[in-house]
Amino acid sequence: MIQQFDLLLNTPVLFILLIGIIGLLVGSFLNVVIYRLPVMMQRQWRSDCQNYLELPADAEHNEVFNLSRPLSRCPSCKTPIKPYQNIPVLSYVLLKGQCANCGLAISKRYPLIEAFTAILSMLVAWHFGYSMQAGFALLLTWSLVALSFIDIDHQLLPDSITLPMLWLGLLLSVFSVFVDANTSIIGAVAGYLCLWTVYQLFKLATGKEGMGYGDFKLLALFGAWLGWQVLPVIILLSSLVGAVIGVSMIVFGGHERGKPIPFGPYLAAAGWLAMLWGHDIIKWYTNFAGL
């Protein structure tokens, strides 16, 4: 066992491949989180409203519904999915993208999220190597994947993911895992206030809400993890990518101008890039600008 552990430490390729396999498994679980967490939140909101208004609870919502129950099943024929039919990516290929029982087409999104999570995980492993930073960076990466796709689907960044990760970033700063405590605390405050100020100014000028409070918390999360110095990089990258994609969606994709576009995925992508190469980007820019 010790020899195998030493081999893993001394062979970066094996370590990266192992993290890739773990990423596939985590990606499969993230598919569950992305689908079920918003439903759980909506049911809880409805239940709270019914309790407040003293209305009877919905009978159809009496079934236990969380991240582990009910077990995965086909949405059409309700046939439970067997463990060997739930192997990330491989099962989709072997089943030819269809339910084994009724033949219903399975969304390509499931294996794509699994593969996407694995690729990001391998990049994190390659960048940080075998280290404490790699472990926590993987945790942040997986959280960002879930947040991004939930925001795409529902324009929602759940506090149940964002806030624990924000507090974890502050806690890690006590041990200077990524940044020191002063840099982290200032980063969290600055990250939140930065977008909050933009939100208030936009609302004052137009009478409309330009973004959600979840975006403030997400940028505060990055400030807590990476420090205040990378916040300008994250804001510029996310705004640039968001503007390009937003205009493209309107011009080429037929997206309605007045329809909101979630900003969370762009923030998440920019924050993830800043986690890996933020200081390199800052250094490159200062050299380019002659500062």
Q: Give the range among 6-10, 20-24, 62-66 with minimum mean pLDDT.
A: 6-10
Contact indicator for 219, 177 with CB cutoff of 8 Å: no
Query: How many angstroms separate the CA atoms of 281 and 11, rounded?
Result: 29
CA distances from 160 to 175, 204, 217 (A): 24, 30, 12
pLDDT digits (tens, 9 = 90+) for 222-275: 999 999 999 999 999 888 877 777 666 666 666 566 667 788 999 999 999 999
- The reported pTM is 0.90
The residue ranges of every structural domain in the chain are: 1-119, 131-291
- Which range, 57-66, 95-104, 234-243, 265-274, is most confident? 265-274
Q: Give the range among 3-12, 42-51, 144-153 with minimum mean pLDDT.
A: 3-12
Span 19-35, average pLDDT? 95
CA distances from 116 to 52, 110, 146 (A): 42, 10, 12
Residue 104 has pLDDT above 90, yes or no: no
Residue 202 has pLDDT above 70, yes or no: yes
pLDDT digits (tens, 9 = 90+) for 205-216: 887 777 788 999
For residue 112, the model assigns a pLDDT of: 95
For residue 262, the model assigns a pLDDT of: 86
For residue 73, the model assigns a pLDDT of: 79
Q: Give the range among 78-82, 122-126, 190-194, 246-250 with minimum mean pLDDT.
A: 246-250
Q: Write the burial class of residue 190 (CB in 10 Å: 0-12 exposed, 13-18 middle, 19+ buried).
A: middle
Q: Write the burial class of residue 286 (CB in 10 Å: 0-12 exposed, 13-18 middle, 19+ buried).
A: exposed
Tokens of 133: 């930073």
Residue length of the chain: 291
On average, the pLDDT of the chain sits at 86
pLDDT bin (cut points 50, 70, 90) of residue 36 is: very high
String of DSSP letters for 37-106: HHHHHHHHHHHHHHHHTTPPPPGGG-S--SSSSSPPB-TTT-PBPPGGG-STTHHHHHTTTB-TTT-PBP
